[in-house]
A and B are shown apart, each in its own frame.
Chain A
């Protein structure tokens, strides 16, 4: 439960964050009391919704994590039993390991791919606007829909191609083996997530003043050198945001797996979010999986903070 609620928490957090500094120097103050109240009024609906739909469910989830509740009917408090059982459950530990693997690989790949495409789309090329539109399309498609199309490609088209070309590796479906299924998931995740990251990188690239490049080319800097010494440092803030956001969203990976493998073969491609859903709602272990989601919530928060701190420090030194 908590895991699926996380995007809401970000939305809530950003709205409250961006609206408060605006109270400061932006406009000349007419009356000291009038203006802040307007801002309170503006924040209030978001805050009310946030508390009702996010904070209260989270607290409920924490409560359930200390019970043996199947989600309905009577239940008893069991103390830390669920948490102790979690750490000795290989299915849970494997789900964590698998989620970290997917999130790590996909975060790195998506940033490499989208930065490269963004640099290309920012250059002087033909059909620039059209291409930018085309590259944004994956973002507006539902992951489940795209996922089923990719599923068809991976389990029918690709093997057919592999058999025709005589490539053994490709002639059976990627998704049917534990050792290759994760590749399919990463491909879909990167394809889908790159769209949004490209837009952020393009926005970043447009903030870099053209004069610097002119000066650099006069000094004899090549393309690679000016990318490394000018472009990248100038858009380091955008890089940080993209890294943090993509890691966070890949840690919660769910739809991709439902559409491609549904956790199979066996339980080899279960992410933590999928396991929480399967065990909690389908398996009837609501309390146990609530404990899992509390742990996962803490893990994501810790990861995001550590990553943000690290990248911001690097940003400043760059």
Chain B
């Protein structure tokens, strides 16, 4: 910049000016940087917390930890739109020391970009249910055999229902897809909205998509799709048609309502069922429902034995791979992973603990507990999608237009296009 500010002819006149400019810029930069230092001699670790519902909770945990460890200060960062915020921090090479994240496709992408620490030999994993380690490993990792996060809480994604309305209209909990449609029909005939549509938030359609597709697709569908040996048009046709059937039983104009509207309306008893997982229960309870919120696995076939429960790691704790304060960070993670802390968190957030031997007896998890105990658990299929594929918008378009073939072919062509320009990470052309 000093180059452009000093034309050579005026060198004698401008020399003092150049000095002042540089001094000015330095002062500016210094004032920007001074915001980063702790000031009181404590080691500062940044804690990036993604879950908006649990902000206060983690804030309290951080201050408890600070009290027990006077040498460490934990700065909690609760951004809105956390994945985008984390990406922009990564662009600046500013990886937070500790993070809680949702274990989804983006987590897998960051893990394969070698952002996160390898916890493979960390004793903190000793008592974690190995099924959940497998779930996060399937998303992507920094290298073969690496474990890039510590599962903290899991969720169950079937569907939620209003137990009072089910009792009032004498509807039994459906065990097959046909029974589910029959129940929806019964509610509709009685003037009760069967499912509340929340398509203004397009991602909500992914919630029923995951259980349907995981039960209906061929078991090796995604590995085959990555290898370009199958297509969505072949493997997902029945998924698409069942999903469209479910969305026939929403309130009119589902696109004008979003997640907050839907959870509030369900809490007021305006719909019998909600196509969301256990993670939505705290949000529903915030509107103080007068009934018991029940849950069930979403049956996609007419054979109850084939029904599985979609369960993913809702909160995974991880750390920067090359952070400056590894020791303090480990201490903080050990603190969070105490059985006491986890049990309390899961109780507050209606989540499933990931440590062996712990359980959550919340009534909203009762309907799915048997699947968890029996290990009939599968991961979210939508986490296999690279973030650049506009899955949610495509689903939204599809559920409004009902054009199944168009949806499947769009999905295939978007998948192929993204894969073609991809040269790294999951879905890379050469891996």
Assess the A284–B397 pair: CB atoms within 8 A. no
Q: Which of B389-403 contact A (CB under 8 A)?
A: 390, 393-394, 396-397, 400
Do A81 and B421 touch (CB < 8 A)?
A: yes
B388 interface contact, C-beta 8 A: yes
| CB contact under 8 A between A44 and B91, given known A73-B114, A282-B83 | no
Minimum CB–CB distance from A276 to chain B (whole Å) comes to 13
Nearest B residue to A67, CB-CB: B423
Please, could you name 15 A-B residue pairs with CB atoms under 8 Å apart, sorted by A?
A33-B13, A41-B17, A48-B5, A68-B422, A70-B113, A72-B87, A72-B115, A172-B256, A175-B255, A176-B256, A266-B394, A283-B386, A284-B387, A284-B388, A285-B388
Chain A residue with the shortest CB-CB distance to B88: A281
**Size class of the contact patch on chain B:** 35 or more
**Extra inter-chain contacts (20) besides given A51-B1, A284-B388, CB under 8 Å:** A37-B13, A44-B5, A44-B17, A47-B4, A48-B1, A51-B4, A68-B421, A71-B91, A72-B90, A72-B91, A73-B90, A76-B424, A82-B421, A85-B420, A159-B253, A175-B255, A267-B394, A281-B84, A283-B390, A288-B421
| Chain A residues whose CB sits within 8 angstroms of the CB of B425 once the complex forms | 70
Q: Is the CB of A85 within 8 A of B5?
A: no
B88 partner residues in chain A, CB cutoff 8 A: 71, 281
- Distance between Cα atoms of A279 and B393 in the complex (Å): 13
Shortest beta-carbon distance, A156 to chain B, in Å? 8
Q: Shortest Cβ distance from A32 into chain B, in angstroms? A: 12
Is A237 located at the chain interface by the 8 A CB criterion?
no
CA distance in complex: A71, B93 (Å): 9
Task: Return chain A residues, CB-CB under 8 Å to B93.
Answer: 72
Contact, CB under 8 Å: B21 / A44: yes
Q: Is the CB of B83 within 8 A of A173?
A: no
**Which of chain B's residues 86-119 have a Cβ closer than 8 Å to chain A?**
87-88, 90-91, 93, 106, 109, 113-115
In the complex, A166 has a CB within 8 A of chain B = no
- Measured between beta carbons, the chain B residues less than 8 angstroms from A281 are 84, 87-88
Q: State how many angstroms separate the Cβ of B245 from the closest Cβ of chain A.
A: 20
Report B67 CB to chain A, min CB distance, Å.
34
Q: How far does the alpha carbon of A37 sit from the alpha carbon of B9 in the complex, in Å?
A: 12
The 6 closest A-B pairs by CB, nearest first: A266-B397, A72-B90, A283-B388, A176-B255, A73-B113, A155-B256
In the bound complex, residues from chain A placing their C-beta under 8 Å from that of B4 are: 47, 51
Q: Mark A259-302, 1 if CB is under 8 A from B, else 0.
A: 00001111110000000000101111110100000000000000
Q: How many residues of A contact B (CB 8 A)?
A: 45
Contact with A along B66-94 (1 / 0, CB 8 A): 00000000000000000110011011010
Task: Please name the residue on chain A nearest to B81 by beta carbon.
Answer: A282
B221–chain A nearest beta-carbon distance, Å: 23
Taking CB atoms, residues of chain B closer than 8 Å to A105 are: none
Q: Which residues of B contact A (CB under 8 A)?
A: 1, 4-5, 10, 13-14, 17, 21, 25, 83-84, 87-88, 90-91, 93, 106, 109, 113-115, 200, 202, 252-253, 255-256, 386-388, 390, 393-394, 396-397, 400, 414, 417-418, 420-425
A-B contact count (CB 8 A): 117
Complex interface: chain A residues within 8 A of B90 (CB)? 71-73
Q: Which residues of chain A are within 8 angstroms of B115 by Cβ–Cβ distance? A: 72-73
For B394, the chain A residues whose CB sits under 8 A away are 266-267
**A272 CA to B87 CA in the complex, in Å?**
20
Interface: A52 (CB within 8 A) = yes
With CB as the reference atom, state the residue of chain B lying closest to A154.
B256
| Smallest CB separation, B270 vs chain A (Å) | 16
- Taking CB as reference atom, which chain A residue is nearest B90? A72
What are the residues of chain B within 8 A of A282 when measuring CB–CB? 83-84, 87, 387
- Residues in B whose Cβ lies below 8 Å from that of A74: 113, 424
Which of A44, A70, A82, A266 has most chain B Cβ within 10 Å?
A266
Q: Which residue of A lies closest to B420 (CB)?
A: A85
C-alpha spacing A279/B350, complex, angstroms: 33
B202 touches A48 (CB 8 A): no
CA distance A68 to B428 in the complex (A): 11
User: Is A91 at the interface (CB under 8 A from chain B)?
Assistant: yes
A219 interface residue (CB < 8 Å to B): no
A52 to B2, CA, bound (A): 11
A48 to chain B, nearest CB (A): 5
Docked complex Cα distance between A104 and B421 (Å) = 32
Does A78 interact with chain B (Cβ within 8 Å)?
yes
* A281 shortest CB reach to chain B, Å: 5
Complex-state Cα separation, A282 to B14, whole angstroms? 46
Given A72-B91, A286-B91, the answer on whether A267 and B113 have CB atoms closer than 8 Å is no
A263 in contact with B393 given A172-B253, A175-B256, A282-B84 (CB within 8 Å): yes
Tell me the bound Cα distance from A40 to B4 in angstroms. 11
Q: Which residue, B90, B256, B386, has most C-beta atoms of chain A within 10 A?
A: B256
Shortest distance from the beta carbon of B119 to any chain A beta carbon, whole Å = 19
A89 interface residue per 8 A CB criterion: yes
Does the CB pair B84–A266 fall under 8 Å? Answer: no
Known: A51-B4, A176-B253, A284-B87. A72 touches B113 (CB 8 A): yes
A268, B397: Cα distance in complex, Å:
9
B17's nearest neighbour on chain A, judged by CB, is A41
CB contacts (< 8 Å) of A286 on chain B: these are 91
List the B residue with the shortest CB-CB distance to A263. Answer: B393
B13, B93, B418, B421: which has the most chain A beta carbons within 10 Å? B421
Residues of chain B contacted by A33 (CB below 8 angstroms)? 13
Q: In whole Å, how far is B208's beta carbon from the nearest beta carbon of chain A?
A: 18
Q: Which residues of A contact B5 (CB under 8 A)?
A: 44, 47-48
* Structural contact, B393 and A267, CB atoms closer than 8 A: yes
Identify B393's interface contact among A37, A81, A266, CB under 8 A: A266
Residues of A near B390 (CB, < 8 A) are 91, 266-267, 283
Q: How far is the CA of A265 from the CA of B87 in the complex (A)?
A: 25
Contact residues, A78-117 vs B (CB, 8 A) = 78, 81-82, 85, 88-89, 91
